[in-house]
């Protein structure tokens, strides 16, 4: 604890053992005040009461700050654990949780949920021919193409793993899902990736629907 702070001050009122301990770094003289005497002193002196309240307020504010910071870092770690670092899309872990939740909501509210999986064709050849850095560029480019063709506010998109992506469309008929899948397929076909050769690299995708 820092200068001017108290250890275990709450135990004066609730008779619960103090939640803080103090270890002296050198020989020290410490004033020990029994709780009944401390309560009597607080009752007798307004100035002492205000000082005590100030100490308690500072301690509570400090504890709240620590709790808020810890909760913030916990939330950030949870977010990072569910986001694919390369593409910025959600990952398989997030997808499994969200899809289960959306399926339950769909069954309860009679809301149609359609989905399809997208796979980059011959992606191993891309890595083998041009190297993994170009493969990463291709994956990020396709992630961007998918994101550009869905409703970001309500639809589900995630990188399932490797060169696979999953798209879930909320309140969308099978016909609407096929239209969206076709738009994404054509958007991918328009992509061009510079591989430092005369012709840019183009890729295609295969899409399988869950009907």
Query: Can you give the pLDDT of all 211 residues of the chain as single tens digits?
Result: 666 566 666 777 777 777 667 777 888 887 777 778 888 888 898 888 888 888 878 878 887 887 888 787 667 666 666 888 899 898 988 888 877 777 777 777 677 888 999 999 999 999 999 999 999 999 999 999 999 999 988 888 999 989 999 999 988 899 999 999 999 999 999 999 999 887 899 999 999 987 6
Q: How far apart are the first and last CA of the chain?
A: 63
In this structure, are residues 190 and 108 in contact, taking their beta carbons and an 8 Å threshold?
A: no
Tokens 């399926």 identify what position?
Answer: 103
The DSSP output letter for 154 is T
pTM more than 0.85: no
User: In angstroms, rounded to a whole number, what is the distance separating the alpha carbons of residues 38 and 44?
Assistant: 10
Distance of CA 201 to the CA centre of its chain: 34
Residues 6+ apart with CB under 8 A from 48: 41, 42
SS3 category, 15: coil
List the catalytic residues.
163
Q: What is the dihedral of CA 36, 42, 43, 44, to 10 degrees?
A: 110
Between the CA of residue 123 and those of 28, 42, 126, 137, what are the distances in Å? 71, 75, 5, 12
User: In angstroms, rounded to a whole number, what is the distance separating the alpha carbons of residues 178 and 184?
Assistant: 10
């Amino acid at each position: 604890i820092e200068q001017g702070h108290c250890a275990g001050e709450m135990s004066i009122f609730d008779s619960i053992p103090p939640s803080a301990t103090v270890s002296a770094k050198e020989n020290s003289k410490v004033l020990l005040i029994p709780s009944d005497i401390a309560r009597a002193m607080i009752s007798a002196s307004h100035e002492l009461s205000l000082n005590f309240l100030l100490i308690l307020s500072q301690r509570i504010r400090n504890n709240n700050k620590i709790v808020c910071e810890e909760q913030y870092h916990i939330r950030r770690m949870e977010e990072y654990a569910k986001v694919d670092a390369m593409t910025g899309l959600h990952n398989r872990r997030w997808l499994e949780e969200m899809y289960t939740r959306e399926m339950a909501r769909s069954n309860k509210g009679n809301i149609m949920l359609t989905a399809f999986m997208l796979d980059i064709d011959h992606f191993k050849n891309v890595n083998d021919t041009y190297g993994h850095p170009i493969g990463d560029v291709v994956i990020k480019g396709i992630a961007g193409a998918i994101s550009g063709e869905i409703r970001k506010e309500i639809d589900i998109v995630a990188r399932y793993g490797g060169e696979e992506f999953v798209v879930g469309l909320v309140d969308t008929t099978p016909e609407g899902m096929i239209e969206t899948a076709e738009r994404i397929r054509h958007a991918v076909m328009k992509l061009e990736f510079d591989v430092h050769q005369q012709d840019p690299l183009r890729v295609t995708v295969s899409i399988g629907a869950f009907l």
